Amino acid sequence: MAFSIYQEFYKLMYKKITWISPLILLALMIMSGYTIGFNEGKLLTMTSYNSPDWIMFILVIIGATTFSMEFQNNTILTLLYKASNKIDVYLSKYVMIFGYNVFLHVLAIIFTVGLRYAPMNAQVAWSTSYRYQQPLWENMLKTSAIDLLTTMLIVSLVFLLSCLINNNAVVISVSFLVVFMGQFVTGSLLNSGRFATVLKWNPLNMINLTREYYNYITYYATSHLANAQLLIGTLFYMTLFFALGYLIFRRKRF
């Protein structure tokens, strides 16, 4: 297992996107700073300059290519040959993505510390009380921690889709459609009032967890679930998608 994890991190280190992504993340965070506005320093700090959306975007691409490229190139056969069993291969990829996810969130926090002093933002003290009567620094750290769960839910779903579809381009396209369009469709259905009691528990609604934490009033009206309910749903579907993805991977013929 340890060797499989080492292999995955080794491959990640030699991918160009691994080192390009932090630059893309920084550029998008700067863009968010100008877009959201000068007087929204508290919101920008709490959300690390809207980094949850940008990190989700990056992880969908990396997560989709993690399996599908190896299926296309048949390099998955080498991994399976060297590993003691299939769960080592599957779990090692998941651990690798989680590690990179943590790296991106830590990087976003570091970027936030620097961007707070840029002239595009109003200066707000770290100790300023904001959401949930907590200081701003605590809001930021908790938002990042919560977003780790939200993004790992997305990764679990992407892994499931990758095991169902071998083509890399198709996996990325379907993943983006499911994640981003799925949220819009779910919100529209819930706001229509029909079957809202059942539909509010669908997995795509759980992607609202991070957004609802930093903007409860707006997103509660969309999700129809409290923060704690979204958290429970996220953990449930993350585990479910991970298990389903592995079952498909285990039965897949190469």
Residue 205, CA distances (Å) to 24, 33, 152, 247 in order: 27, 27, 15, 24
Instruction: Choose the most confident range, by mean pLDDT, from 120-124, 126-130, 167-171.
Output: 126-130
Query: DSSP label at 118?
Result: S
Q: Give me the numbers of helices (H) and strands (E) for the chain, helices first please.
A: 13, 0
- Tell me what pLDDT residue 120 has: 66
Contact 18, 100 (CB under 8 A): yes
Structure tokens belonging to residue 252? 């897949």
Average of per-residue pLDDT across 89-103? 93
Is 214's pLDDT higher than 90? yes
- Tell me what pLDDT residue 102 has: 97
Q: pLDDT exceeding 70 applies to what percent of the chain? A: 91
Domain boundaries of the chain, sorted by first residue: 2-251
Q: How many CB atoms lie within 10 A of CB 228?
A: 8
Integer-rounded Cα radius of gyration of the chain: 19
Is 77's pLDDT higher than 70? no
Average model confidence (pLDDT) for the chain? 86
Confidence of residue 229 (pLDDT cuts 50, 70, 90): very high
* Widest CA span in the chain: 57
Measured distance CA(117)–CA(214) in Å, rounded:
22
Q: pLDDT exceeding 90 applies to what percent of the chain? A: 42
